[in-house]
Amino acid sequence: MDVRPNPSASGQRLGRYQLLGEIASGGMARVHVGRMLGKGGFQRTIAIKVLHRHLAQEPSFVAMFLDEARLAAQIHHPNVVQVLDVDALDGVLFLVMEFVEGVTLADLAAEAKRRGELLPIGLVGRALLDSLEGLHAAHELRDSHGQHLGLVHRDMSPQNILVGADGITRVTDFGVAKAAGRIATTGSKDIVKGKLRYLAPEQVSLEDLDRRADLFSTGIVLWEALTGSQLFGASSEAQALAMLLTCPIAPPSTVRPEVPLALDEVCMKALERQRSQRFSSAAEFGEALERAVGGGIFRPKDCAKYVRELSAARIQQVRERIGSSHSIEAPTEEEALREVFSPPEGNPVPEEPLSHDRPPAAALKPRPSTNGFGARRAVVMGLALASAVAGGSAAIAFRGSAKEAETPAEPRNPVHTTTTTASAVQGLEVTPLFTSGSNVAVVTPSEMTPTNASSSAQNQASSAIPNLGAPSGGPPKRPKTPPKVDGTKVMKF
């Protein structure tokens, strides 16, 4: 495991957030562990996802990023990573989340594999059950009028499932989630989003999606976590897609014989290519999973023990990173009270509204900023532009923008925005604490053979993969010897 301490990141600031080290970096953003600093010595460990600087100038990416914050912040569930804040400073756009001490399911499986082990079935059962409960909460999300948002995560994958050292598993990364009323134009028919290896067939064929697409993806996650193997491991994206559309799927027990028949059946039902044959909801999937794993399912404390043992080194390094940055000593009681009751001169605090009602316009006037206003205004203009592109009716309200005084079409989401000055940004060039590939695959149809050309995808599959046999139809048999799932070999992580 590549774990690099990152002393250079220590102490860097984004307003009232202190960056302590980078956890991951992907195509859209970097994720850091950090600390929220408040009055009177208040501190909280948080995770900060910072949109790459060049993308913060692109209205479509800004709108997507804000959508992620807006949607995820509305989901309140113990199995969904809580979004706490979103803000922009000097052209740096970032999202603040609860920090989950633990590892991704992908990391956990990789670590088990390094040790020549498979994840215990009881652990897989608990982690997936938690994930399905979190996913169900997301699928059930409604707006303040009780209207179902029809949210689809679209990127369920082991990298977006965080298994906590507290034994609780949480779903994260609603970066490409789609919901009715989403502002960013990510749902356009000519683009597919999500990690290629975990897409549902209907995502590839550009059909309208519903929650059942996430159930297929979670089925792949379950299959892989049980077997320690890739389901659609292929040497090219085209081959992976062809396999997704046509390759027979063998039950997990063909790779790991101890998987009980009932669990095989649950997994295979989730992996039905016809979505009408799948579970109808994540809750139903979860209930069936729980029954199938039976009494052997891990309790959260068993999960906690396993994660702490298997990922001890990684968890310890993050802890050290957080602990070694304890530069802020707790103030005395007198200092704390003085800080609370004496706002700094020249920075008057506007009266805050007591409820989530629309605040008085006066309180929303942009504050004078000592520097960096130009960059910030660029982001705000980007947002306005993105909003306009999307039709503009669902207003992106952005703190500091004069637009904010207008009545938004939608009620304000509970993403908490903070008041920070642009001058508080102190550089973001940091080296990683962890390196981990990230991940959102953005694939255009030309790269991936859509289904209205599915016959051509099948032809491609047939030529790329020998001995495919008939596409799967009836219930799976339980062969005694592991079949060649991809026609050549079972690919490993």
Ligand X SMILES: Nc1ncnc2c1ncn2[C@@H]1O[C@H](COP(=O)(O)OP(=O)(O)O)[C@@H](O)[C@H]1O
Q: Smallest distance, Å, CB 194 to ligand X?
A: 11
Strand partners, 195: none
Stretch that binds ligand X, among 3-11, 156-164, 250-258, 419-427 (CB under 6 A): 156-164
Closer to ligand X by CB, 50 or 397: give it.
Answer: 50
The rounded distance, in Å, linking the Cα atoms of 156 and 97 is: 18
CB neighbourhood size of 405 (10 A): 15
Q: Smallest distance, Å, CB 47 to Mg ion?
A: 12
Closer to ligand X by CB, 110 or 468: give it.
Answer: 110
Query: Total residues at the site for ligand X (CB under 6 A)?
Result: 24
Question: 47 near 31, Cβ under 8 Å?
Answer: yes
Instruction: Scan for tokens 């199995």, then name that residue.
Output: 79
Residue 146 makes CB contacts below 8 A (sequence gap 6+) with none
Applying CB under 5 A, does 420 fall inside the site for Mg ion?
no
Residue 416 makes CB contacts below 8 A (sequence gap 6+) with 84, 85
Residue 67 annotated among the catalytic residues of the structure: no
Closer to Mg ion by CB, 197 or 275: give it.
Answer: 197
Q: Smallest distance, Å, CB 73 to ligand X?
A: 13
The rounded distance, in Å, linking the Cα atoms of 166 and 338 is: 36
Applying CB under 6 A, does 34 fall inside the site for ligand X?
no
Applying CB under 6 A, does 239 fall inside the site for ligand X?
no
Q: Which of 155, 173, 264, 486 is catalytic?
A: 155
Dihedral sign (CA 476, 219, 188, 28) = negative
Closer to ligand X by CB, 283 or 493: give it.
Answer: 493
Stretch that binds Mg ion, among 94-102, 158-166, 253-261, 331-339 (CB under 5 A): 158-166
Residue 182: what residue type? R
Coil, strand or helix: which one is 364?
helix
Closer to ligand X by CB, 320 or 351: give it.
Answer: 320
Applying CB under 6 A, does 28 fall inside the site for ligand X?
yes
Residue window 43-82: x/- pattern of binding to ligand X, with contact defined by CB under 6 A: ----x-x-------------------------------x-
The rounded distance, in Å, linking the Cα atoms of 216 and 194 is: 13
Q: Which of 6, 12, 18, 104 binds ligand X (CB under 6 A)?
A: 104
The rounded distance, in Å, linking the Cα atoms of 252 and 261 is: 9
411 to 450, contacts with ligand X by CB under 6 A?
436, 438-440
Count the residues in the chain.
493
Q: Which of 173, 202, 224, 272 binds Mg ion (CB under 5 A)?
A: 173
Dihedral sign (CA 104, 106, 111, 117) = positive
457 burial level (CB within 10 Å; 0-12, 13-18, 19+): buried
Applying CB under 6 A, does 172 fall inside the site for ligand X?
yes
CB neighbourhood size of 328 (10 A): 12
The rounded distance, in Å, linking the Cα atoms of 295 and 67 is: 40
Closer to ligand X by CB, 98 or 284: give it.
Answer: 98
| DSSP, residue by residue, 191-210 | -EES-GGG--HHHHTTPPP-
Task: Select the binding partner of residue 81 from Mg ion, ligand X, none (C-beta < 5 to 8 A, by kind).
Answer: ligand X
Question: 176 near 202, Cβ under 8 Å?
Answer: no
79 to 98, contacts with ligand X by CB under 6 A?
81, 97-98
Applying CB under 6 A, does 218 fall inside the site for ligand X?
no
Question: 488 near 234, Cβ under 8 Å?
Answer: no
The tokens describing 293, both together, are: 């794993």
Residue window 174-213: x/- pattern of binding to Mg ion, with contact defined by CB under 5 A: ----------------------------------------
Closer to ligand X by CB, 157 or 205: give it.
Answer: 157
φ/ψ (deg, to 5) at 80: -130, 130
151 secondary structure, DSSP code? -
Closest residue to ligand X: CB criterion = 26
- Residues of this chain that bind ligand X (CB under 6 A): 23-24, 26, 28-29, 31, 47, 49, 81, 97-100, 104, 159-160, 162, 172-173, 175, 436, 438-440
Q: Which residues are known catalytic residues?
A: 155
Given the rule CB under 5 A, which residues bind Mg ion?
Answer: 160, 173
